[in-house]
């Protein structure tokens, strides 16, 4: 079997040790870092993302696969920088103020990275100002807001307002998601898009960053 | 103005108003489990003969509405009734998010004379705690308080020996806030600050309660660990000699407490809606027609032996155990077929299994996390107490198969039924010092706990 496919398959099974060894081997064999990333790690992560979207695998499998990807990515990062590998866009992500839940947010973050986006993780309990200031300072094209509680999702509306007040609403897109969030809610608060799962979030994020 | 006829009563609605809001004002028993977000699809009513979600239906004409008969939730209190008159009677009330239980107790002979249960009328504002807080944040607390007080008055009047002066009250922190008419909005987001936790004694008239004179509530521990848990801990005695016990209260929210005679550490896990059916496709509360026991293909029991209408918590646990034992799902919870049918209309699908996985892992991982923080092993656990309206009906063997409870503690599981009510009765009779419980208690927030996050992911799987 070709080594890229081997990396992909081990990643899908969440075997992080095997992924680490295979990536090291591929680097020693002087294979291009971009190919190891795209045909190995991201290939596997995309399959997991697709299966997640179709409800065939669940949060645990995605998390263990993502752990394997991160280990591989760490090995590749210095080489990718040398190769001048470019990110397809820059995103900041966080769970909104008053909400400390981060499992969903972390999943989306990993899927975003898997799609080649540069992600700034603001953690949980993030104020609207922090979202907007980060987007300005770091020149992000997209802000991703997560909330698990019906009582905290309203903060997403404040993020949209804050972007307007600071005059960057036309420069930045705002994506919302999380268990209580709906398409209707997204429209109501004037955010740009709602996605229902991590894989769709990543796909949509890439589209939005291209705009 | 349009005419809205609901079950042959007439109401008036303005153009564009939402049917669910009219239903709330009408006080016709009806539930909005997800709090009117249009997600759970369980508030269906018939509008001019067509099924509609009441929480999303906008009124643009005269309409005739048929509301489904409200479920009469069966809640076992576990009270041993010894009907006799008493010289020193008291009323004891447990305000659950879903059900209310009111007992008349004899403080002299320390027994219960009679018990009545009913559904919490606040279910029209949402099934879980967060939707109630959200309603309070948007509309204030008064409406929710007044429907509750009205219901309690009607329950009090149902006692034939209607003569006690004092009402002892227990319930989770949010329910007690609403009962006393305190704003609970600040408990909806971090840092979840409550208005009060301490015990309260007030004049019953101030709250609008008839037929009792004084109201006395038990103290809470934190926003998420209420007086219901304080009462539960009062009911069971703490193990001695460096041993620990665990109390899991399977209510609408699951609370987990690890305690010894020296310390009490507790946490809350959002697991309840799954066992009360709110986020399960064919899920329902434990009322007539709910599948409550399941053995295999066609071999099941329903509450009241009625035709199967849906699945309640105990039935769900049994069905999940069958799916695992027969390898109908794999260790990741993957179901190969579109659904697993119980009857023609009642089934479990992939999403239901995922909801169950989240709930069972939240509880199991919560237990392990508390044990890890306390640095203790399963050998040091004396008892695993399970409380809640359906705790005595849980098939422990099956619950362990699904990974809801640790297998190491299988032989040490003891159901307590409604430990909030029974523990409050005990308090009313013995006036124990509850500060021994509340002073020693520490709350651990799992959403910010890295140990929990790791375990939560691992324990979502099944052992096949």
Tell me: pLDDT of A84 over 70. no
Q: Are residues B112 and B174 in the same domain?
A: yes
pLDDT at B75: 67
What pLDDT score does A157 carry?
Answer: 96
A61 falls in which pLDDT band (50, 70, 90)?
confident
Which residue do the tokens 């009090």 mark? B156
Q: Is B189 on the interface with A (CB under 8 A)?
A: yes
In angstroms, the CA B8 to CA B64 distance is: 8
A82 φ, ψ (degrees, to nearest 5): -60, -45
| Rounded distance between C-alpha atoms, residue B342 and residue B364, angstroms | 27
Residue B253: exposed, middle, or buried by beta-carbon count in 10 A (0-12, 13-18, 19+)? buried
pTM: 0.84
Q: Is residue B216 over pLDDT 80?
A: yes
Interchain contact A167–B (C-beta under 8 A): no
Mean pLDDT of B238-242: 88
- Residues A39, A31: Cα–Cα separation, whole Å: 11
**Chain B touched by A125 (CB under 8 Å):** yes
Distance, in Å, from the CA atom of A45 to the CA atom of B300, rounded to the nearest integer, reads 42
Contacts of B194 (CB under 8 A, 6+ apart): B173, B177, B184, B186, B187, B220, B222, B223
Distance from CA of A211 to the nearest CA of B (A): 31
Select A3-83's CATH number: 1.10.287.3510, 1.10.1240.10, 3.90.1150.10, 3.40.190.10.
Answer: 1.10.1240.10
Dihedral angle sign, alpha carbons of residues B127, B133, B138, B142: positive
A85 DSSP assignment = P
Q: Tokens representing B216? A: 């006395």
**Domain boundaries of chain A, sorted by first residue:** 3-83, 90-210
Chain-chain contact of B457 with A64 (C-beta, under 8 angstroms): yes
Same domain, B98 and B169: yes
Q: In this structure, what token pair is assigned to residue B100?
A: 């209310």
Residues B188 and B150 in one domain: yes
Residue B51 confidence class, pLDDT cut points 50, 70, 90: confident
* Bridge partner residues of B95 (DSSP): B100, B171
CA distances from B434 to A51, B42, B240, B328, B431 (A): 52, 40, 18, 48, 8
Task: State whether residue B447 sits within 8 Å of chain A by CB.
Answer: yes
Looking at the structure, do residues B99 and B208 belong to the same domain, yes or no? yes
Which of B17, B32, B66 terminates a domain? The answer is B66
Q: Which residues of A touch B458 (CB under 8 A)?
A: 60
Tell me how far apart the alpha carbons of residues B360 and B403 are, in angstroms, rounded to a whole number. Answer: 7
Q: Is residue B355 part of a domain?
A: no
Range of lowest pLDDT (B301-310, B330-339, B369-378, B384-393): B330-339
B138 in A contact zone (CB under 8 Å): no
| Residue pair B182/B141 in contact by the 8 Å Cβ criterion | yes
Query: What is d(CA B314, CA B105) in angstroms, rounded to the nearest whole number?
Result: 29
Phi–psi pair at A125, nearest 5 degrees = 55, 45
Asked if residue B263 is part of any domain, the answer here is: no
Closest by Cβ to A151, choosing from B130, B354, B458: B130
The answer on pLDDT for B72 being more than 70 is no
Q: What is the DSSP string of B211-252?
A: S-SEEEEPPPSSSSS-HHHHHHHHHSPPP-TT-EEEEEEESS
Mark residue B459 as left, alpha or beta (left: phi above 0; alpha: psi -120 to 50; beta: remaining).
Answer: alpha
> Of B217, B238, B272, which residue is a domain's last?
B217
CA–CA gap between residue B299 and residue B289 (Å, rounded): 15
Please give the pLDDT value at position A114. Answer: 80
Q: What is the mean pLDDT of chain A?
A: 90
Same domain, B105 and B172: yes
Residues B280, B283, B288, CA angle at the centre, nearest 5°? 175
Q: What is the pLDDT of residue B272?
A: 60
Predicted ipTM of the assembly: 0.71
Residue B299: pLDDT over 80: yes
B192 part of a folded domain: yes
In a domain, B316, yes or no: no
Residues B136 and B57 in one domain: no
* Average pLDDT of span B193-211: 95
Say whether domain A90-210 belongs to CATH 3.40.50.280. Answer: yes
B46 is in which domain, residue-wise?
2-66
- Region B123-127: mean pLDDT is 87
State whether residue A100 sits within 8 Å of chain B by CB. yes
Lowest-confidence segment of A115-119, A157-161, B219-223, B269-273 by average pLDDT:
B269-273
B38 pLDDT higher than 80: no
Among B39, B351, B354, the residue with its CB nearest the CB of A182 is: B39
Compare CB distances from B37 to A63, A100, A182 and report the shortest one's residue.
Answer: A182
Residue B283 C-alpha, separation from nearest chain A C-alpha, in angstroms = 18
Interface test with A, best of B335, B447, B449, B452 (most A CBs within 10 A): B447
CA B336 from centroid of its chain's CA atoms: 32
CATH code for position B101: 3.30.420.480
Question: What's the number of domains chain B is made of?
Answer: 2
Residue B116 inside a domain? The answer is: yes
- pLDDT single digits (tens) A125-155: 999 999 999 999 999 999 999 998 888 999 9
Residues B8 and B122 reside in one and the same domain: no
Please confirm whether the linkage preceding B191 is cis (ω < 30° from 0).
Answer: yes
In the stretch 55-74 of chain A, residues with CB closer than 8 A to chain B read 55-61, 63-64
- Give the number of other CB atoms < 10 A from CB of residue A44: 27
B337 — contact with chain A (CB < 8 Å)?
Answer: no
pLDDT at B162 over 70: no
Weakest mean pLDDT among A114-123, B28-37, B266-275: B28-37
């Amino acid at each position: 079997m070709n080594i890229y496919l081997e990396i992909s398959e081990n990643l899908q099974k969440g075997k992080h040790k095997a992924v680490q060894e295979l990536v090291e081997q591929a680097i020693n064999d002087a294979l291009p870092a971009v190919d190891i990333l795209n045909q190995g790690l991201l290939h596997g992560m995309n399959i997991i993302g697709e299966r997640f979207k179709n409800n065939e695998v669940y949060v645990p499998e995605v998390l263990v696969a993502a752990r394997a990807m991160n280990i591989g990515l760490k090995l590749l990062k210095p080489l990718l920088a040398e190769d001048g590998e470019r990110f397809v866009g820059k995103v900041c992500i966080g769970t909104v103020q008053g909400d400390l839940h981060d499992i969903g947010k972390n999943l989306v973050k990993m899927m975003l990275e898997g799609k080649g986006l540069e992600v700034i993780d603001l953690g949980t309990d993030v104020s609207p100002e922090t979202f907007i200031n980060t987007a300005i300072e770091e020149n992000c094209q997209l802000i991703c807001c997560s909330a698990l509680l019906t009582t905290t999702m309203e903060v997403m509306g404040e993020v949209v307002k804050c972007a307007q007040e600071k005059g960057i609403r036309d420069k930045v897109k705002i994506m919302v998601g999380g268990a209580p969030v709906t398409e209707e809610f997204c429209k109501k608060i004037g955010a740009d898009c709602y996605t229902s799962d991590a894989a769709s979030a990543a796909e949509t994020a890439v589209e939005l960053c291209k705009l | 103005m349009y005419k809205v006829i609901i079950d042959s009563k007439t109401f008036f609605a303005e153009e564009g108003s939402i049917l669910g809001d009219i239903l709330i004002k009408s006080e016709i028993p009806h539930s909005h489990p997800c709090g009117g977000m249009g997600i759970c699809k369980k508030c269906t009513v018939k509008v001019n003969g067509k099924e509609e979600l009441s929480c999303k239906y906008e009124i643009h004409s005269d309409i005739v509405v048929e509301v489904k008969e409200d479920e009469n939730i069966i809640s076992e209190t576990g009270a041993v009734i010894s009907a006799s008159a008493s010289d020193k009677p008291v009323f004891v009330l447990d305000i659950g998010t879903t059900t209310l239980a009111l007992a008349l107790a004899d403080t002299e002979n320390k027994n219960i004379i009679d018990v009545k249960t009913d559904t919490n009328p606040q279910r029209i504002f949402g099934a879980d705690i967060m939707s109630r807080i959200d309603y309070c944040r948007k509309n204030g607390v008064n409406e929710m308080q007044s429907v509750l007080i009205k219901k309690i008055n009607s329950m009090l009047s149902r006692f034939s020996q209607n003569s006690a002066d004092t009402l002892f009250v227990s319930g989770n922190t949010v329910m007690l806030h609403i009962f006393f008419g305190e704003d609970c909005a600040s408990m909806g987001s971090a840092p979840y600050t409550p208005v009060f936790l301490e015990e309260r004694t007030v004049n019953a008239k101030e709250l609008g309660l008839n037929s009792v004179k004084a109201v006395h509530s038990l103290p809470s521990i934190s926003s998420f660990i209420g007086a219901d848990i304080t009462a539960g801990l009062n009911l069971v005695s703490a193990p001695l000699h460096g041993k620990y016990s665990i109390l899991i209260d399977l209510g609408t929210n699951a609370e987990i407490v690890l305690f010894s005679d020296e310390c009490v550490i507790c946490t809350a896990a959002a697991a309840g809606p799954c066992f009360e059916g709110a986020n399960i496709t064919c899920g329902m509360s434990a009322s007539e027609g709910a599948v409550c026991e399941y053995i295999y293909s066609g071999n099941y029991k329903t509450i009241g032996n009625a035709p199967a209408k849906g699945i309640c918590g105990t039935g769900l646990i049994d069905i999940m155990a069958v799916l695992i034992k027969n390898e109908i799902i794999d260790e990741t919870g993957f179901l190969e077929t579109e659904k697993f049918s119980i009857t023609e209309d009642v089934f479990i699908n992939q999403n239901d299994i995922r909801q169950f996985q989240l709930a069972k892992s939240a509880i199991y991982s919560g237990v392990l996390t508390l044990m890890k923080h306390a640095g203790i092993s399963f050998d040091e656990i004396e008892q695993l107490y399970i409380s809640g309206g359906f705790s005595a009906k849980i098939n422990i063997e099956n619950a362990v198969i699904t990974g809801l409870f640790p297998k190491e503690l299988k032989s040490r599981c003891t159901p307590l039924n409604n430990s909030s009510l029974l523990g409050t009765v005990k308090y009313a009779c013995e006036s124990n010092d509850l500060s021994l419980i509340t002073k020693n208690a520490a709350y651990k927030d799992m959403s910010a706990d890295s140990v929990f996050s790791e375990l939560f992911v691992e324990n979502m799987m099944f052992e096949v």
